[in-house]
Amino acid sequence: QPGVSNPFDPFSMVSAEMGVLAKHIAQLIGSGHPVLNRVASYYFEAEGKNVRPLIVLLLSKALAKIPDEERTRIIIDQYDVNDQPEFKGTPKAFSFAGANPLQSITPLKILHGINPNIILNPLSRPMIDQDAYVTLDKKNGILPKQRRLAEITEMIHTASLLHDDVIDFADSRRGRDSGNIAFSNKMAILAGDFLLGRASVSLGRLRNSEVVELMSTAIANLVEGEFMQLKNTVLQPDTKSIDNDGQSKKIPEPTGKVPVKVHEYSVNPLNTISHQDNVNAAFEYYLHKTYLKTASLMSKSSRSTAILAGCNENIIENCYQFGRNLGLCFQIVDDMLDYTTTAELLGKPAGADLKLGLATAPVLYAWKEKPELGPLIARKFSQPGDVEIAKTTVDVTKGVEKTRELAEQYRNDALKNLRHLPDSDARSALELLTNSVLTRSK
Ligand code: FPP
Ligand code: MG
Ligand code: MG
């Protein structure tokens, strides 16, 4: 029973913050349109795994254990200006307790979230975002900006799920109708866009251009990753769209007037390169796609978490690698579960990838053993019987076993990354989270 007896249970360690996170997100996504409100909040109502905000919050906590001397950025110890009489009524002009601001911050006394420029240029009257003055919760070491980053990350992820379920013709998510089914494709897409817009507003308010750049790149990466796995025809001829009048409509086939060439697996059974080279190229493609569609958001939000904490470059890079390895492990497990479990247990469609024409790790490993699977992969399992043959081939080969081993490698690498952080309860919780990504059943 998770969360009951283990003191390092990732969720219990930041359960208060997770409660606040849900409340803040609800505030951030309010609009003047009641139906938009319903669609935009729909996926937040059902219980998700919350992996991404957990990573950001626990990493924040773990990074708080790093001594100030080891941070390269000037972040000054945080206190609530409203509790400090000298700051009352002057939120825009920052003044230090000492006469000389430079003296009072050496050695690196760190004020989280304040523009370092004010340190470099102490004589100019600094303009400080009101947001910078927020109390650091000394008890848990999580900075207000890191909390907001956790919210932003979850909002971006949820936006991508709304879009993903349209693209994947999904009918369920989190144990109930998916957004496209409950509302319509159009509304699901618009609500996703709306969430992205509001996430961007919140991102801008962090007043950290490096973090804005990273998180915006993550959004672009999600789309790139999704594009890499689109079918060549882009739309299946029998594609049905459920519209907001509840009618099922046939989407016109692409006219072919605009040649659409989506990059494909370099699978060509007739070419001259060896089977092994073909398999390797397909894996490279698969892993790159996986990085873009899943690991990028986790790695870039982890990197941003460290940037906001003023960590040195080594720690920043290490956090990035942690997010990358954990993200790759997460999606590879996701691709494995698509083969090994049921829709009922997952709360979303199972066995969906082959039907969508997708060759993920289990079938790629099966192909490595059975080269005759090549033509089926190349035609994206589009002929009658292809899906069944591929499934059976995965069953009779080491497809699933090898996939688990691959996920395990990334899990191990992620655990190694964590070893670079100071020992703490939060680090132990992150280790537990990392292990549970591998062993999860949904
Ligand atoms: C789930 O994968 C989907 C993703 C990890 C990313 C989806 C990204 C887009 C649809 C691009 C649009 C992006 C934004 C930012 C709006 P999956 O389909 O393999 O997993 P599932 O089983 O949970 O559906
Ligand atoms: Mg999907
Ligand atoms: Mg998808």
Cβ 168 under 6 angstroms from ligand 1:
yes
Give the position, in ligand 1's atom list, of the atom nearest the Cα of 352.
22
Give the position, in ligand 1's atom list, of the atom nearest the Cα of 193.
16
When pLDDT is cut at 50, 70 and 90, the band that residue 12 belongs to is: confident
Q: What is the pLDDT of residues 386-420, one digit of tens each?
A: 999 999 999 999 999 999 999 999 999 999 999 99
Cβ 219 under 6 angstroms from ligand 1:
yes
The C-alpha atoms of residue 118 and residue 257 are separated, in whole angstroms, by: 57
Give the position, in ligand 1's atom list, of the atom nearest the Cα of 358.
19
The C-alpha atoms of residue 2 and residue 49 are separated, in whole angstroms, by: 13
Best substitution site from 157, 293, 326 to test ligand 1's pocket, by max atoms within 8 Å of Cβ? Answer: 293
ipTM metric: 0.98
Give the position, in ligand 1's atom list, of the atom nearest the Cα of 168.
18
Decide: helix, strand or coil at residue 442.
Answer: coil
Cβ 328 under 6 angstroms from ligand 1:
no
Peptide bond into 107 cis (omega under 30): yes
Cβ 226 under 6 angstroms from ligand 1:
yes
Residue 426 alpha carbon to ligand 3 centre in Å: 32
Average pLDDT over the chain, rounded to whole? Answer: 81
Report the relative pairing of strands 176-177 and 240-242 from DSSP bridges. Answer: unpaired
- Read off the pLDDT of each residue in 298-309 and give the average, rounded to a whole number: 95
> Which residues lie below 8 Å from residue 259, measured CB to CB, with a gap of 6+?
none
When pLDDT is cut at 50, 70 and 90, the band that residue 203 belongs to is: very high
- Write down the pLDDT at residue 273: 77
Structure tokens at 289: 């796609």
- Write down the pLDDT at residue 230: 83
Cβ 179 under 6 angstroms from ligand 1:
no
Give the position, in ligand 1's atom list, of the atom nearest the Cα of 223.
11
Give the position, in ligand 1's atom list, of the atom nearest the Cα of 170.
24
State the Cα angle at 356 between 248 and 298, rounded to 5°.
Answer: 110
Cβ 173 under 6 angstroms from ligand 1:
no
pLDDT at 127 over 80: no
Q: What is the pLDDT of residues 221-241, one digit of tens each?
A: 999 999 888 864 444 444 455
- Write down the pLDDT at residue 241: 52
Structure tokens at 418: 């964590």
Closest residue by Cα to residue 194 from 32, 47, 395: 32
Comparison of pLDDT for 360 and 249, the residue scoring more = 360
Cβ 429 under 6 angstroms from ligand 1:
no
pLDDT at 126 over 50: no
Backbone angles phi, psi at 18, to 5 degrees: -65, -35
Closest residue by Cα to residue 50 from 102, 14, 98: 14
- Write down the pLDDT at residue 165: 96
pLDDT at 361 over 70: yes
Which of 133-147, 244-258, 377-391 reaches the highest mean pLDDT? 377-391
Cβ 151 under 6 angstroms from ligand 1:
no
DSSP one-letter code for 123: T
Residue 357 alpha carbon to ligand 2 centre in Å: 12
pLDDT at 382 over 60: yes
- Write down the pLDDT at residue 246: 52
State the Cα angle at 339 between 382 and 324, rounded to 5°.
Answer: 100
**Residue ranges near ligand 3 (ion) with Cβ within 5 Å:** 164, 168
Count other Cβ atoms within 10 Å, centred on residue 290. Answer: 25
Count other Cβ atoms within 10 Å, centred on residue 66. Answer: 19
- Specify the range with the lowest mean pLDDT, choosing from 250-254, 285-289, 367-371: 250-254
Cβ 298 under 6 angstroms from ligand 1:
no
The C-alpha atoms of residue 166 and residue 164 are separated, in whole angstroms, by: 5
- Read off the pLDDT of each residue in 13-24 and give the average, rounded to a whole number: 92
Largest CA distance in the chain: 80
Cβ 193 under 6 angstroms from ligand 1:
no
Ligand nearest to the CA of 298: 1
Comparison of pLDDT for 106 and 319, the residue scoring more = 319
